[in-house]
Amino acid sequence: MTHKTEKATFAGGCFWCMVHPFDEEPGILGVVSGYTGGTTVNPTYEQVCSGKTGHVEAVEITFDPEIFSYQKLLGLYWQQIDPTDSGGQFHDRGSSYRTAIFYHGEQQRKQAQESKEALESSGRFNKPVVTEIVPAGTFYPAEKDHQDYYRKNPLHYRLYRQGSGRDDYIRKHWQVKKDENELRRKLTPLQYHVTQEKGTESPFENAYWNNREKGIYVDIVSGEPLFSTNDQYDAGCGWPSFTRPLSEGRLTAAADGSHGMVRTEVHSQFGDSHLGHVFEDGPDPDGLRYCINSAALRFIPEKNLETEGYGEYKGLFI
């Protein structure tokens, strides 16, 4: 079935960092880095960075609204930026790095305004939200070197994000605010031990190590969608194993030197739940094995995706 596609245009500082969060989501057909909002025709990166063209660095997203709605795009957009900063984003300063939502049509304008007002009234920030909501104009794709930068230069991209202060800001403002007593009431002792104390459950004696039902796994604490059974395989280790996450942007990684080993530990981005580890002994195409504790996950069967609020992932199982 062919659905009608739409465009969404967002400015959020350096466009390298605004592609990855959207690129791997279901229903996203393409994300292009470029320039918009200015007067110069076909500006170059150097011209835009000078601040003299009026353009901002932005991304133009082609999406299927029946799979991933504009409201969900807006929610994801706010989680990538500092909407209270009118002078740039993080260590990138100047007008070309300001934030803005460029709406395509009256419906997008209304949804963007409602989303902004909801964010302002949420109390999440102690300063006004200054992100502009303006009509979309001509969008000029950026030079080839700037397209899909996170794929072409993954190490530099990660270092840049971290060094710019973007990742720390996102964690500070969007991670789940944890109350230890509430978590202990919500979670079983094993779930708490695994997610909050970096514990490990017993192999072959956990809920999902040999799961054969189709569906996705979400963080037991935050509900973030993390893995799909499409990427699950039997690694023989006794824990759920995956070749990849639903989106790398939903995970954070850190070196783990415990138990006399050097491993890479993975956490959920917003729940900051300890999930398990990622190893380089997996199958093709990337050779990765995400070895994850069942106790850190909640399974959503394919048949329940819509009712549980994860309907955009139904397309994974067609």
> For residue 194, which amino acid is it?
V
At 184, give phi and psi (nearest 5°): -65, -30
Q: How confident is the model at residue 154 (pLDDT cuts 50, 70, 90)?
A: confident
**The domain containing residue 258 runs over which residues?**
180-317
The CATH number linked to 133 is 3.30.1060.10
Residues 144, 238: one domain?
no
How high is the pLDDT of residue 98?
97
**Is the distance from CB of 74 to CB of 115 less than 8 angstroms?**
yes
226-245 CB burial, b ≥16 within 10 A, e <16: bbbbbebeebeebbbbbbbb
Residues 201, 146: one domain?
no
Structure tokens at 150: 């996170």
Q: Which H helix or E strand runs over 18? A: helix 16-23
Q: What is the pLDDT of residues 63-89, one digit of tens each?
A: 999 999 999 999 999 999 999 999 999
158, 174, 190 — which closes off a domain? 174
Enumerate the β-bridge partners of residue 133: 101
- Residue keyed to tokens 């918009």: 36
131, 159, 174 — which closes off a domain? 174
No. of helices (H) and no. of strands (E), the chain: 9, 17
Enumerate the β-bridge partners of residue 267: 252, 274
Residues 74, 106: one domain?
yes
Residue 24 pLDDT > 60, yes or no?
A: yes
Average pLDDT over residues 184-193: 97
Residues 110, 221: one domain?
no
Active site residues: 14, 291
Residue 203 domain-assigned (yes or no): yes
Enumerate the β-bridge partners of residue 268: 251
How high is the pLDDT of residue 1?
53
How high is the pLDDT of residue 318?
84
Q: How confident is the model at residue 2 (pLDDT cuts 50, 70, 90)?
A: low
Q: How far apart are the first and last CA of the chain?
A: 11
Residues 24, 157: one domain?
yes
Name every residue whose Cβ is closer than 8 Å to that of residue 123 and which is 6 or more positions away in sequence. none
Q: How confident is the model at residue 113 (pLDDT cuts 50, 70, 90)?
A: very high
Residue 257 domain-assigned (yes or no): yes
Q: What is the pLDDT of residues 232-247, one digit of tens each?
A: 999 999 999 999 999 9
Q: What is the pLDDT of residues 252-307, one digit of tens each?
A: 888 877 777 778 999 999 999 999 999 999 998 889 999 999 999 999 999 999 99
Structure tokens at 94: 């100047």
**Is the distance from CB of 186 to CB of 196 less than 8 angstroms?**
no
User: What is the chain's mean pLDDT, rounded?
Assistant: 94
Pick the more confident residue, 263 or 95.
95
Average pLDDT over residues 45-63: 96
Query: Of all residues in the chain, what percent carry a pLDDT higher than 70?
Result: 99
174, 209, 241 — which closes off a domain? 174
